[in-house]
């Protein structure tokens, strides 16, 4: 029975730690732009001159229009 209580307490501690890590990540704004993560695989291809993904083109257009003002 003692091992059961240890296992229950360990699982509660792990759940509390996971909740703390999630709250920390939200406060530090790590989930701000999750769409950009799927294009990270192709960033090395972009350096070779292949077409840019749509999200990267939008960012480039936004920065170009901000610089022209």
55 and 43 part of one domain: yes
Q: How many domains are there within the chain?
A: 2
Residue 49 has which token pair?
């001159």
44 and 65 part of one domain: yes
Tens-place pLDDT, residues 19-54: 999 999 999 988 887 777 777 777 666 566 555 556
Query: Comparing C-alpha atoms, which of 30, 41, 39, 45 is closest to residue 58?
Result: 39
Residue 46 in contact with residue 60, Cβ under 8 Å? no
Tens-place pLDDT, residues 11-21: 999 999 999 99
Locus of tokens 């003692």: 2
Higher pLDDT, 28 or 65: 28
Residue 38 has which token pair?
């799927």
1 and 19 part of one domain: yes
39 and 69 part of one domain: yes
27 and 38 part of one domain: no
26 and 40 part of one domain: no
pLDDT band (50, 70, 90) for residue 8: very high
11 and 24 part of one domain: yes
Provide the pLDDT for residue 12. 98
């Amino acid at each position: 029975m003692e091992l059961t209580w240890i296992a229950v307490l360990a699982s509660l501690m792990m759940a509390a730690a996971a909740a703390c890590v999630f709250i920390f990540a939200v406060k530090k704004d790590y989930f701000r732009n999750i769409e950009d993560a799927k294009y990270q695989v192709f960033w090395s291809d972009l350096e070779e001159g292949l077409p840019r993904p749509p999200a990267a083109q939008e960012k480039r257009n936004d920065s170009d229009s901000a610089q022209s003002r």
